[in-house]
A and B are shown apart, each in its own frame.
Chain A
Amino acid sequence: MNTRNRPLSPHLQVYRLPLAAVMSISHRATGVLLTVGTLMLAYWLGAAAYGPDAFARAQAFVGSWFGILLLLGWSACLFYHLCNGVRHLLWDAGWGFELPQTFRANYVVLACAAGLTVLCWIAGFAAWRI
């Protein structure tokens, strides 16, 4: 029995994943990270309900270097998951299954996610100064 020409499933350790595959697993990873981020949302809203002192502590944490680092990460995750999610919805509608469209959409998603993240932080720092 000739076993030489059988297709092998990719070994993840040695197989260079195509961009579409990296973006697919990133959609999952960012989704999980954003789920962790809901803890912060619940804490922030809860602090507001517990009163001015608790809310001031929450706002101070959000404004600390660690808080800003978390927000930076979550905003990038959110915009990536949002942009790639819109692509998933377009796929669900039957659009964009041809290979050239898929390759192009990879870069459109990455550019939109990066652009929105940068825009969001420019707006954030502008609002912070005022």
Chain B
Amino acid sequence: MRMESPLGRARGLGSAKEGVGHWWAQRLTAIALVPLSLWFVISVIALLGADHARFQAWLATPGNTAMMVLLIIATFHHAQLGVQVVIEDYVHDEAIKTASLIALKLAAVALGVFSVVAVLNVATGG
């Protein structure tokens, strides 16, 4: 039986003071992803069946390099913010939840960095 009052318990579970930061970052990346994802779809269609040389020539132009890097950053940031909420909503075991969130955040950074490095590598002809 809990000896603390409902108010005492609520105080302990109070806001971590960073909910607005999460909300704001999710919206900001969402707004960025409207033009970025449309650009991406059009680009993929234009690149259907392209060989390596054509893909490299396309990605090496500064505008396309910048757009692809921006797309990667916005996508992975937005994705991990969204999946974080899904995990927090549906995974109730504290240990599994924490482990899932750690795996999610690390995987997002790793895949995002790998993708950006790959783009820069191709764009600089490496």
- A interface with B by C-beta (< 8 Å): 28, 31-32, 34-35, 38-39, 41-42, 45-46, 48-49, 51-52, 55-56, 59, 63, 75, 78, 82, 85-86, 88-89, 92, 120, 123-124, 127-128
Contact = CB atoms under 8 A, between A and B. Distances in A.
A35 B41 CA distance: 16
Given A31-B86, A32-B83, A45-B119, 13 more contacts: A28-B86, A31-B79, A41-B115, A45-B68, A46-B118, A49-B118, A49-B121, A49-B126, A52-B52, A82-B38, A85-B33, A120-B41, A120-B45
A86 B35 CA distance: 11
A116 B114 CA distance: 30
Contacts of B114: 42, 46
26 contacts: A28-B86, A38-B111, A39-B111, A41-B72, A42-B114, A42-B118, A45-B68, A45-B122, A48-B55, A48-B59, A48-B122, A51-B52, A52-B53, A55-B52, A56-B51, A56-B52, A59-B49, A63-B48, A82-B33, A82-B38, A85-B34, A88-B30, A89-B27, A123-B45, A127-B48, A128-B48
A86 B34 contact: yes
Contacts of B72: 41, 45
B83 A31 contact: yes
Main secondary structure of the interface of B (DSSP, over half): helix
Interface residues of B, number: 37
Interface in B10-57: 27, 30-31, 33-34, 37-38, 41, 45-46, 48-53, 55-56
